[in-house]
Structure 1
Amino acid sequence: MQKQVMARWLAEQGLELAAMQPVGGGCIHRAWRLELSDGSQRFAKTNHAALLPVLEAEADGLAALSAAVQLDPTAAPLPTIPKPLALAELEGEAVLLLSWLELGGGSQQGWRELGQGLARLHRASLGSGDGRFGWHQSNYIGSGPQHNGWHRSWAAFFSDQRLGVQLELAAAAGRALPKAKALLEQVPHWLAEHEPEACLVHGDLWSGNAGLLIGGGCALFDPAVSRADREVDLAMARLFGGFPAAFFEGYEREWPLPAGHRQRVELYNLYHLLNHANLFGGGYWQQSAASIEALLRHWS
């Protein structure tokens, strides 16, 4: 995005842009550090105008996480959630303006506090819904669609709205996976005796979507929220490199996970493998097929 376009937009909000610098780390959007004339900073994401709905969904998710954090403001530590400040389409580009996070910490205590904070966010959100699984709108997991139709049954929700949707996308692309039908037939039985309470989850919690702050504290960002089983966040935190052990120690210290949770990790993470296969192809197809085979062997 051209600096003068950004400057005009910020001026409409009473902000004077001094400098605009690209920053790394974004997989989908272009990211910018905005330095204002008063010395403060903001963060902006930009993309083609067609992807405005993706940024709208991100803003909705961040607002939901922020509201959940505020449900129990006396609890500490709690993760910082970047605040959505403005959203617009400017000369053919979509832009989301957010508060700035100074990322860069790396202490074990910081990761432990992030685990504790996530547990507190999960627990605080339990009473804010009506017990159903889903979300008030469909959103995105990365740049892929995430369906969030409401269900009373967690087993039905995960089977239909998570694995089922991804497997349908694969089949539509000509990449139907062997034994996909057998898997979907079994998932409701595998989860039949697991009846979690619906809580707000981040939904895309790999290590690139969380971090520690310089000077102390921790943060969560880039969510794909829904009301779901809290275990899905802990499962994904073990995928794609994973979080440090201190993160899981902190979570367990604050709110221990139920018996059998380790058995469900691969099942829950199959959703993300399938999503990556549908988005990026390559070896993710083989990983997904191997995971389905392993699940059918393990749970049979």
Structure 2
Amino acid sequence: MEAPQNLSVELECALTAAAGISFSRAEVWTTSSGSISRALEIRAGEQRYFLKLNDAAALPMFEAEVDGLAALAACNAFRVPRVLASGATADEAFLLLEWLQLRPLASAEDGQRFAEALAKLHHDTGERFGWARDNFIGANPQTNVQHDGWARFFVRCRLTPQLQLARSRGHGGALGREADQLLERVPALFLDYRPRPSLLHGDLWSGNAAIDADGTPVIFDPAVYRGDREADLAMSELFGGFPTAFYAAYRTAWPLDEGYEQRKALYNLYHVLNHLNLFGRSYLGQAERMIRALVFELRR
């Protein structure tokens, strides 16, 4: 078992000042962290805390996460980690959260509970698509300028920024002319479908979903905005990890409209483009295939 680390004096002082909790003599362990930020478990006396660290310049990313967690918690559909403090030292940005004992979704019962909670979250609807502030999808900026129309919002605030970023990094092929054709044709997918502006998690893959020790569904690491609820479901299918019962239970709680499979591909294109921009060319072929398939379908 690895030996515990110590907090730097500067970080210890900043955390103590921001959270009102003494972290002198605290022991720190690295947890299974994501690709964006470092994740640490802090033990201070009998208490445990979850700490995310990044470069000081990443503080806006943590501030947006605090905003998203607050929005999800206010809906009271899921358990959401409580924010204890956020801030930055000269070198590091930090986000301190309560420690939750979590496990992945595994059983049919887990899937059903999570689906019912997600349907409740999605029933929290607003007047417009977007959000009151921009935030982040992973480490990339996510534009949330509010729109009355969903198709226009998705083209302008989701697909277009990711395509522009990809092109600026030298990714051509289907990300050029065929992608422009797709952007022009997106409204055709919504001629007979009018989604509500639902509150979305925004980055709902299985790594951001869990069950706590009491069996309560938990979500975290959000990229919130108001949009088509199907965008959350689509993301949940992109990388797998959710029990089959989750999808059946969601459809029982709130049936999906005809045409979901085609819209799912459009919504997941956003996340594949984001992964291309975060992690590189290994996602380029998948993005190109998705664009070509969507353009082909929309020409029919």
**TM-score computed with the length of structure 2 as normaliser:** 0.91
2:158 maps to what in 1? 162
SS at match of 2:43: strand
Map residues 192-271 of structure 1 onto 2, 5 A cutoff. Answer: 192-271=191-270
The offset of 1:215, in angstroms, is 3.7
Structure 1 CA distance, aligned partners of 2:92 and 2:221? 19
1:84-233 alignment runs, 5 A limit:
84-104=83-103, 106-123=106-123, 125-126=124-125, 129=126, 131-176=127-172, 177-178=175-176, 179-233=178-232
Cα drift, residue 280 of structure 1: 1.3
Q: CA deviation at 1:259?
A: 2.2
Is contact 2:56-2:91 (8 Å) kept?
Answer: yes
What displacement does 1:36 show? 2.3
Q: Is the 8 A contact 1:79 1:217 kept in 2?
A: yes
* Correspondent of 1:54 among 61, 64, 87: 61
Alignment partner, residue 75 of structure 1:
none
Check if 1:27 corresponds to 2:32.
no
Aligned counterparts of 2:118 and 2:234: Cα–Cα separation in 1: 13
- Structure 1 residue 137 displacement after superposition: 1.1
CA contact (8 A) 2:107 2:243 kept: no
Offset of residue 40 of structure 1: 2.2
Does structure 1 retain, via aligned residues, the 8 Å contact 2:189–2:263?
no
Q: Give the equivalent residue in structure 2 for 1:11.
A: 16
What is the CA-CA distance between 1:16 and the residue it aligns to?
2.7
Q: Deviations over 1:247-288 (max 9, x none)?
A: 112212222222222221111100001111111122211100
1:41 Cα shift?
1.6
Alpha-carbon shift at residue 242 of structure 1 (Å): 4.1
- The alpha carbon displacement at 1:297 in A equals 1.6
Assess if the C-alpha contact under 8 Å between 1:200 and 1:226 holds in 2. yes
Find the residue that maps to 1:243 and give its secondary structure. coil
Distance 1:205 1:112, change over 3 A: same
How far residue 3 of structure 1 moved from its aligned partner, in angstroms, is: 4.3
Provide structure 2 residue ranges, at least 5 long, that are not aligned to the other structure. Answer: 1-5
Q: Does the Cα contact within 8 Å between 2:142 and 2:158 map onto a contact in 1? A: yes
Q: Could you tell me how far 1:217 is from its partner in structure 2?
A: 1.4
Corresponding residue SS for 1:299? helix
Counterpart Cα distance in 2 of 1:249 and 1:4: 51
Structure 2 SS opposite 1:41 = strand
Mapped partners of 2:115, 2:261: distance in 1: 17
User: Residue type matched to 2:84 in 1?
Assistant: L
Partner SS for 1:31 = strand
Separation (CA, whole Å) in 2 of partners of 1:183 and 1:163: 10
- CA–CA distance in structure 1, aligned partners of residues 98 and 74 of structure 2: 16
Q: What do the CA deviations read for 1:149-175 (whole angstroms, capped 9, x no partner)?
A: 111000101111111111111222222
**Separation (CA, whole Å) in 1 of partners of 2:63 and 2:114:** 26
Q: How many residues align?
A: 287
Residue in 1 that maps onto 2:3: none
Instruction: Tell me how far apart the structure 2 counterparts of residues 199 and 268 of structure 1 sit (CA, whole Å).
Output: 15
Unaligned runs of 5+ in 1: 70-77
- 1:111, 1:212 within 8 Å by CA — same for their partners in 2? no
Equivalent residues of 1:3, 1:20 under 8 A apart: no
SS at match of 1:298: helix
Q: Distance in 1 between matches of 2:95 and 2:103?
A: 22
